Structure 1
Amino acid sequence: MHTRQQTSLTPRLQQSVKLLQMSTLDFTREVAEAIANNPFLEEPEETTNSNVTGDHEGSTVDSGPAIPNDVSLEKDYVDSDAPGDSALPETEYIAYSAADAPAYSGDYPTARNSDQPDSDIGQWARSASSLRDSLLADLCSYQLSERERFLTEYIIEALDDDGYLRVPFADLADESELSPPIAAGEWEIALRLVQQLSTPGLAARDLAECLTLQLNALPDGTPGKGIATRIVAEALDRLGRCDYSGLAKTLSCPEEDIQQACMLIRTLAPRPGGRFKSVDPACYVIPDVVVRKIGRLWVATSNDDATPKARLNSAYTQLFRQARYSERSLMAQALQEARWLMRSLEQRSSTIHRVAQAIVARQQTFFDYGEIALRPLMLSEIADELGMHESTISRATSNKYLASPRGIFEFKRFFSRELATQSGGTCSAVAVRALIQEMIDDEDPMEPLSDVVLARKLAKEGVVVARRTVSKYRAQIKCPPAELRRRPVHP
């Protein structure tokens, strides 16, 4: 018989770990679900500045603690000069009541229910038009027979997200739906009609047809249009390999004209339907922390408005205290879960804020100068400073974002491996990518910098990296190689 030790997590610790690694949106849904299912939990009532009276007579609205002289990572900081701290009460903010408003107010929202938040973005948001909606709207301007409209609508519905028709005509509709059966010529006519709608290049069956439709839509005097059309039709594979000399021999044209035509082709859209793609609401992020500059230091402040809040329901808690011991068994577990959730909310908020402040304290130069000044940082450094495990820091930085004057960044963006320099110091991989981007932005379009030249220029800056590393970093910033960046010389 063998004995062994095994580490197991208590239900409370499992809940804390689960909540810590959630994004703000997932965390908000989790808390809302807990409030809906647990009678001992409720959302705290929001009070305005004008209502903070009564029980606390003579008290004033606290706009945040004062900023101490010595900045400590264990305390919260707020910007006392931030806009909104001295806002007028709501009664002074609204110019007139709903009864005084005119019968029609145009497109501007004037009144809302009292149980809605102060600003409802749904009153201002507009719905994005999809590819199919746009094409069907354009189709309304054509006088078509019922059969012709049936065919064109089938083609529109069959387009993929890139705007291509990748379904054969025979699979678009059942032949029994129309009488007489649909001929191939009818499908071709309907396809040509769809290709004339909206953006050129839509409803193409392959890349060559897509580019050809866009070239045909250009004015006749466009430089390089004729050769570009021949390249797309006869030698599109050579264009993908940037074989300019081979294209010149195949088409019997000067290489300068080939380069001009290739540059024209690169201005076309290989996925014309992409501009109609709707934005997934799940891709929106809510910053967990706001970074502001206080004096000479950048300080992280928790975004309390984005953090869901919950409190114990006083009525049910009082009923639990007055109930007999024999009647408490059903409510005891719910009350315990409610208290666990309350503690998890506080622990999660405190952990994220401490991790954020530790990151900001080590990346002060980033917020002053940008990515080129981002210093190397490892999870173990933050873990050692805060006395936490590395896995806890990893969970606290996953799907967490901070808002700063430079934009919104994920916590993990500030962690980057270090690269050695000739002076014996270190720099981050993010800073090297920023240097490469600056060099490419400042290069001569007629003579773009190759990866070898970029590596040499980095070495002069004191950063020694191999050519293949430069190629990898250049690909990460989505910059094409030098051959594709070269601008053709016009005769």
Structure 2
Amino acid sequence: MQLNQSLSVRHSLVVNQQLRQAIVLLQMGNFELQSFIEAQSEENPFVEIDRPTQAPAPAPRSTVRGSDDDWDRIGALADTRGTSLYTFVASQIGTLGLTDAEIELASVFVDALEPSGWLGCGLTDIAQRAGVPLDDATRMLHRLQALEPAGVFARTLAECLRLQAIDQGLLTPLFDAVLGNLKLLADADLSGLARACGSTLADLRPVLRELRRLDPKPGTRFDSEPEPIRPPDLLVSAAPEGGWQVELNRSTLPRVVIRDDEAKRLGDIAEPRRADAGGYIAERLSVARWLARAVDHRNRTVLRIGEEILRRQGDFLTHGPEHLRPMILKEIAEKAGVHESTVSRVTTGILMATPHGTFPLKHFFTAALPSRDDTGGSAGAVRHRIERLIKAEPAGTPLSDDQLVQLMEAEGVSVARRTVAKYRDQLSIPPSSVRRRQAILSGRV
């Protein structure tokens, strides 16, 4: 055995706390950034947040969106929501003359009520939660199912529709038989349904017409909590000299203000008293200045990447989603002068408002597909073409995947049948056979 000593020099990157925060800042949208700066201002006496004023921000020219100040008007809208499902049901329960024990049991049912109006758990679970016998829970269920809207507190689709049929006086023996064979109806096997119900197709048709008028989710007609609306971080608009331009959405972008005057005042007070106070003030002031630089760097990086995306997606902005060009992270990183991982982080959390809608930056990065020209050769463009062709198809003769391939070949895009099937699944569009059944059931054929 022999021991040796050697010296070597190497470069390595130490990921300290500030570097980690700088990386996280790149992934934040404007609202997340505001929350982060607010948290920093609570910890650091020399950080102050300059919140954006909700003045009308320059919005993109658009034939799809509304006026320039739509985003600011949203925040000013009054709450016009009506009664919720739970409030409506609870108000009816109060008129049933229930005992205290029955009210407690009914409240367990209400807790299990889903926004659709259905029960979200089984009757046995509800009885166990309430600590009552199953028979008591069953009797309460029957009382609650008599409430409005008809079909509320149902456990299955058939039960929901049956409750509505009873309420409207539609529950004939044939109607009840149809509800017992909904699987055949979902498969559009009308001949099999007629045999199972012991009737003819002519007798079935008026029953099916009445069935289509019923609501499978009666709770959805009531107002629910609104989805949070998040304004975009980047705004695309038509440039005065032609083409397109992108800018930060200043109406939602916070700014870090350094309180140098406060630092000087505290320093003058603390200096004669405690020597270590000066060190604390200097350290907090240094952190505040770093935060201001990090936020500024984040804004410049986001804008630079947005500009590079804009340069490559001019056809998309001018002509629509079917002209989305193939693009990868590496080429944007090279042009923007940043690392590929930086582009990946920025495109994860940033939204861009365009004339064709608001999209995450990730939306613009799609793989290239073979094409006979330089238009429409991206996976995103192909998805939009598939969606357009299917929306325009005749209801009675929907397009098969092979026909979609042929139509796109005629448009200059070479794509395999399995690729069409994959993108159709990503768009949540069923196969042509299922689309035809749906058209039959909806009465469009």
Normalised by the length of structure 2, the TM-score is: 0.79
1:285 has 2:240 as partner: no
Match of 2:40 among 1, 22, 34: 34
The 8 Å contact of residues 161 and 277 in structure 1, kept in 2 or not, is answered as no
Q: Partner letter of residue 303 of structure 2?
A: H
The 8 Å contact of residues 244 and 259 in structure 1, kept in 2 or not, is answered as no
Q: Partner letter of residue 168 of structure 1?
A: L
Name the structure 1 match of 2:79.
125
Q: Partner letter of residue 89 of structure 2?
A: L
Structure 1 range deviating more: 451-460 or 342-351: 451-460
1:13 has 2:7 as partner: no
Q: Partner letter of residue 261 of structure 2?
A: A
2:238 partner SS:
strand
Name the structure 2 match of 1:57.
none
1:137 has 2:82 as partner: no
Question: Shift of residue 17 of structure 1?
Answer: 0.7
Name the structure 1 match of 2:370.
420
2:251 partner SS:
helix
Name the structure 1 match of 2:123.
168
Question: Shift of residue 396 of structure 1?
Answer: 1.1
1:146 has 2:88 as partner: no
Count the aligned residue pairs. 418
Name the structure 1 match of 2:398.
448
Match of 1:339 among 272, 289, 299: 289
Structure 1 stretches lacking a partner, 5+ long: 50-62, 65-76, 86-117, 176-181
Q: Partner letter of residue 300 of structure 1?
A: V
Question: Shift of residue 298 of structure 1?
Answer: 1.6
Distance 1:395 1:203 in 2: 45
Name the structure 1 match of 2:147.
197
Structure 1 range deviating more: 149-158 or 451-460: 149-158
| Correspondence list, 1:84-483, <5 A | 121=75, 124-126=78-80, 129-140=83-94, 142-146=95-99, 149-165=103-119, 166-169=121-124, 170-175=127-132, 184=135, 187-216=137-166, 220=170, 229-233=176-180, 235-244=181-190, 246-252=192-198, 270-274=216-220, 278-279=224-225, 283-295=228-240, 296-319=242-265, 322=268, 324=271, 326-423=276-373, 427-483=377-433
Do the aligned partners of residues 232 and 26 (structure 1) sit closer, same or farther apart at CA in structure 2, a change above 3 Å counting? Answer: same
Structure 2 stretches lacking a partner, 5+ long: 61-66
The 8 Å contact of residues 164 and 204 in structure 1, kept in 2 or not, is answered as yes
Q: Partner letter of residue 163 of structure 1?
A: G
Distance 1:23 1:48 in 2: 17
How big is each residue's C-alpha offset from its partner over 1:42-87, in whole Å with a ceiling of 9 and x where there is no partner?
A: 23498999xxxxxxxxxxxxx99xxxxxxxxxxxx999xxx999xx
Question: Shift of residue 337 of structure 1?
Answer: 0.8
Structure number with higher helix proportion: 2
Distance 1:319 1:227 in 2: 87
How big is each residue's C-alpha offset from its partner over 1:319-344, in whole Å with a ceiling of 9 and x where there is no partner?
A: 36646465412222211110110101
The 8 Å contact of residues 401 and 409 in structure 1, kept in 2 or not, is answered as yes
Question: Shift of residue 268 of structure 1?
Answer: 5.9
Do the aligned partners of residues 472 and 229 (structure 1) sit closer, same or farther apart at CA in structure 2, a change above 3 Å counting? Answer: farther
Question: Shift of residue 408 of structure 1?
Answer: 1.8
Name the structure 2 match of 1:24.
30
Do the aligned partners of residues 348 and 439 (structure 1) sit closer, same or farther apart at CA in structure 2, a change above 3 Å counting? Answer: same
Distance 2:213 2:423 in 1: 24
Structure 1 range deviating more: 159-168 or 440-449: 159-168
Distance 1:439 1:260 in 2: 33
Normalised by the length of structure 1, the TM-score is: 0.72
Q: Partner letter of residue 411 of structure 1?
A: L
Percent identity among equivalent residues?
Answer: 31
After superposition, the CA RMSD in angstroms is 3.9
Name the structure 2 match of 1:74.
none
Question: Shift of residue 390 of structure 1?
Answer: 0.7
